[in-house]
Amino acid sequence: MIGLRYTRSRRHRGFLSFVSAFALVGMGLGVFALIVVLSVMNGFDHELKQRILQVVPHAQLKSTTAMKDWQQLAERIASTPRLVASAPYIGGQGLLSYAGDIHGVEVQGIDPEWEKNVSPIEDAMLIGSLRDLEQQRYSIVMGRLVAVMLGLNVGDKVTLTLPQFSISPAGVFPRTKRFTLVGVFEVNAPVDQTLTLIHLDDAKKLFRKGDSVDGLRLRFDDIYYAPTGSRILADELGEHYQTRDWSQSQGNLFQAVKMEKTMTGILLSIIIAVAAFNVISSLVMMVSEKRSDIAVLRTMGLKKQGIVTVFIVQGISMASIGIVIGSILGVFVAVYLPQMFALIEKLLGFQLFDPDVFFVSFLPSVWQWQDTLKIIAGAFVVSLLACTYPALRAARIEPAEALRYDA
């Protein structure tokens, strides 16, 4: 009761009131910033996973020897629990050149009939179809951003150079081949600026694979089951087969995003730490102002533990107001941030994320109550620790000394 009364008291000196208000605002601002920023980080992480994981293979099955009998292998693993489909592929790196422009790309040889069962690219075609790869020899399909960067249109011929060499009587030359652009896809993911697709038969000749392929792409009914399912499949097939799932091929990227979220949270927590120091300063000055009150309470029988409780309640009450206000505003902004950001862009007439450059053309935000709960709990713990020193200092005041100097 006494601690809450001190909190509501209007007789504070001007500077003391300013420090208390600054501590309250700082605590609220820290909680608000943490909730909003972590929600934005969650949003980008969600968009990244949605856009990348929908186009990358759930897993890849490879053999230690040349995989020539991939059709029989595909039939053999077809009955694997939760395995939806498989498709052959040949992969490599190359350089596309057109009209003096050069762009590095990932080249993948696919069978259009098999590929549509493991990849959504057929549904993401802007121009043409994957089936067009079968109708024209040495044809190519590429992501929209690859075509934009090279200034290509359907029907243009582009030169593909591989990091392999051909030896002839005239010398050593890099292996090149001209392809005709027959289709463009867009999945709003990083593959739009790196991925190119050619027919499996063309890839066999280009990469000199003979009758073999690099492996099989695997698609499970749940991408998060793929790491477990692929390991079980590799164990069943034996030591001559290996699998590589999306958590291995893309895991570093998602780990980097997670680490970035953690480091951002730690750095923004400094705001709460600064607010906690303001709480300490406010309570220390309050203790100095209330020395005579403390002495009177002690002479009336209030124990040291009671004095400690008075000032801890006062400090926690002051910090709680900031935490509650910051939490309410933070949750509101985190939930409606995409709409608010879109409204600001509309009013100001500009678009921050250019869709021709960025894969995400809006500001994503995914609020998670777990993050908010951790932030609130952390802020309360920091506030409690901040109140401890001034409260203990108040409890050490001797009534006789305080009343003597007050008189």
Tens digits of per-residue pLDDT, 261-303? 788 888 878 878 877 787 777 777 776 666 666 666 666 666 7
* Share of residues in the chain with pLDDT > 70 (%): 81
3-state secondary structure of 253: helix
Mean pLDDT, rounded, for 123-149: 88
Q: Identify the sign of the CA torsion 198, 202, 203, 207.
A: negative
Burial letters for 280-319: b for 16+ Cβ neighbours within 10 Å, e otherwise? Answer: bbbbbbbbeebbebbbebbeeebeeeebbbbbbbbbbbbb
pLDDT winner (highest mean) among 31-35, 285-289, 359-363: 31-35
Q: Which of 15-19, 165-169, 193-197, 259-263 has the lowest mean pLDDT?
A: 15-19
pLDDT over 90 at 158, yes or no = yes
Helix (H) or strand (E) holding 241: strand 241-245
**CB-based contact 268:33 (threshold 8 Å):** yes
pLDDT winner (highest mean) among 54-68, 80-94, 282-296: 80-94
Residue 14 — pLDDT band, cuts 50, 70, 90? very low
pLDDT over 90 at 333, yes or no = yes
Residue 198 has a pLDDT of 93
Between 274 and 358, the higher pLDDT residue = 274
3-state secondary structure of 201: helix
Mean pLDDT across the chain: 81
- Residue 271: name the closest of 382, 107, 119, 394 by CA: 382
Q: Identify the sign of the CA torsion 51, 347, 35, 269.
A: positive
Residue 7 has a pLDDT of 56
- Residue 201: name the closest of 127, 121, 135 by CA: 135
Residue 199 — pLDDT band, cuts 50, 70, 90? very high
Helix (H) or strand (E) holding 360: none
Mean pLDDT, rounded, for 350-355: 70
Mean pLDDT, rounded, for 79-93: 91
Burial letters for 119-133: b for 16+ Cβ neighbours within 10 Å, e otherwise? Answer: bebbebbebbbbebb
SS3 percent helix, strand, coil of the chain, rounded to 5, is: 55, 20, 20
- Residue 244: name the closest of 62, 53, 50 by CA: 62
Question: Token pair of 277, please?
Answer: 């120091």
Q: For the segment 215-244, what is each residue's pLDDT rounded down to a tens digit?
A: 999 999 888 888 899 889 988 888 888 998
pLDDT over 60 at 405, yes or no = no
> The pTM is what?
0.68
pLDDT over 80 at 168, yes or no = no
